[in-house]
Structure 1
Amino acid sequence: QMSDILYYEILDIPLPELQGLITLRVAFHQATPNEVLFHIIRLPKGSTYSDLIDDLKSKVQLSRSDAELRLFQVNNNKIWKVYLPTEKIDAVHDPNVPLHVEEIPEVEKSAGPRDRLVHVVHFFKDNQHIQYYGVPFFFLIREGEALSDIKVRIQKKFEVPDEQFLKWKFAYVAYNRPDYLQDSDIVLSRFQQKNIYGPWEQSLGLEHSDMPTKRANQNRHSFEKPVKIYN
């Protein structure tokens, strides 16, 4: 069916100039307070992620002046790719997908040679199948560190009340299959498995007792960060 309605958009900059730019949606995860700020950033085509970092630093408040930033992509509530500052944005990033940026915690700079930065995901079970939700994150696990010690740090990160945190379950997750952990387990021993296709295929999973009951709500949970949007 033909339509006689003509739609148009009022641009804030001349069209030739806009055509030479790439527009990015950036989700900046603040270290303190614990919230996510969304920014719309325009950069010339051919810019690198280092250019994006420089632009973003002028728009956000960092916890310290020498803070380093990490850029990564989230797909289906899992960390999918980490970008290098030297990579060109328009060559590797889908502009329709928000780019996540966070400060690299100071604790990571003191990591030992056998410590490991792992991906952490939130999940619940729907008819025995895993459903991921919420915002995944990176977490440094020390060599020889037991789950009991990791749980203390996770609880502090999310400020979960003791009574509620007792209901959380922790699992090593590979290829969407959870292998539940005990407090005495040395967690990094599970991440030594071979034949893993990529880092996104194994993670530390947090199964929440306050998990949503409907799939439509799988992107929300009690510990989501507040969101603000800036143009």
Structure 2
Amino acid sequence: MCQTSDILYYEVLDIPLPELQGLKTLKVAFHHATKDEVVIHTIRLPKQSTVGDVLDDLKTKVEMSHPDAELRLLEVFYHKIYKVFPPTEKIEGINDQYWTLRAEEVPEEEKNLGPHGRLIHVYHFMKDTAQNQMQIQNFGEPFFLVIHEGETLDEIKVRIQKKLQVPDEEFAKWKFAFFSLGRPEYLQDSDIISSRFQRRDVYGAWEQYLGLEHTDNAPKRTYAVNQNRHTFEKPVKIYN
């Protein structure tokens, strides 16, 4: 016998429905430049707004390292950076249910690369040897790194350790590899890193990256059920 329920579920809106239908709501994870935390902000703007409008709105809600700091919006999926949004892109077509939207300050060194500087992707990874097959598993927070022509891995490692604040004893166990289309080429301290990376639009070059191989010791903090999309190694605050 089929039973029907007399319970009616509804959502209380904070603005009139016709107005809400003209707006686009995005959840943006703001990564502070110096504080070890992630803050989730809900941004609600007219659908015809741009990414630049989102970043302007976010600036009124977050604490930045200095008043003139410049923000950018990234598209992150499975611990890789797939896109940096142009400020002029319309937000109506952006899907924050599938990708993680990450906002962060643009470091000063990236603004002044010069003719001998280059921006590369850097990702954390582990090797999974389940079922006698080696698989690469990315984890943690992906980031960009400035490298210069002629720099060795040994020189770059110093900056990576300082950026990630890894103790000497732990960092000594890390391995470094150049990845192209998912295949690792392990590097020696004397290797020239810039020679491995092709000159191309860095924001479309996620298939080439510098991989940091180490164990994942950071506690996981999530704000959504889907572990693959919204996993952070930093404390998370959520503001609606």
Normalised by the length of structure 1, the TM-score is 0.89
State the SS of the aligned residue for 1:87: coil
- Report whether the alignment pairs 1:147 with 2:157: no
CA-CA distance at 1:109 after TM superposition: 2.4
Separation in 1, partners of 2:175, 2:71: 30
- CA separation of 1:217/1:56 partners in 2, compared to 1, >3 Å: closer, same or farther? closer
2:95 is matched by which residue type in structure 1? D
CA-CA distance at 1:17 after TM superposition: 1.2
Deviates more, 1:95-104 or 1:162-171: 95-104
Contact residue 78 and residue 229 of structure 2 kept, 8 A? no
CA-CA distance at 1:217 after TM superposition: 8.2
- CA separation of 1:32/1:176 partners in 2, compared to 1, >3 Å: closer, same or farther? same
Higher helix share: 1
1:94 is matched by which residue type in structure 2? N
Deviates more, 1:41-50 or 1:5-14: 5-14
CA-CA distance at 1:68 after TM superposition: 0.9
RMSD: 2.5
Deviates more, 1:201-210 or 1:4-13: 4-13
Partner of 1:94: 95
- CA separation of 1:220/1:163 partners in 2, compared to 1, >3 Å: closer, same or farther? farther
CA-CA distance at 1:134 after TM superposition: 1.4
Counterpart selection for 1:107 from 81, 106, 109: 109
CA-CA distance at 1:218 after TM superposition: 7.8
Separation in 1, partners of 2:190, 2:228: 30
Normalised by the length of structure 2, the TM-score is 0.85
CA-CA distance at 1:225 after TM superposition: 2.0
1:225 is matched by which residue type in structure 2? K
- CA separation of 1:218/1:187 partners in 2, compared to 1, >3 Å: closer, same or farther? farther
CA-CA distance at 1:32 after TM superposition: 1.4
Identity of aligned residues (%): 61
**Runs of 4+ deviating beyond 6 Å:** 216-221
What 5-or-longer segments of structure 2 have no aligned partner? 219-225
2:36 is matched by which residue type in structure 1? N
Work out the number of aligned pairs and report it: 224
2:55 is matched by which residue type in structure 1? I
Separation in 2, partners of 1:73, 1:2: 45
What 5-or-longer segments of structure 1 have no aligned partner? none
1:146 is matched by which residue type in structure 2? T
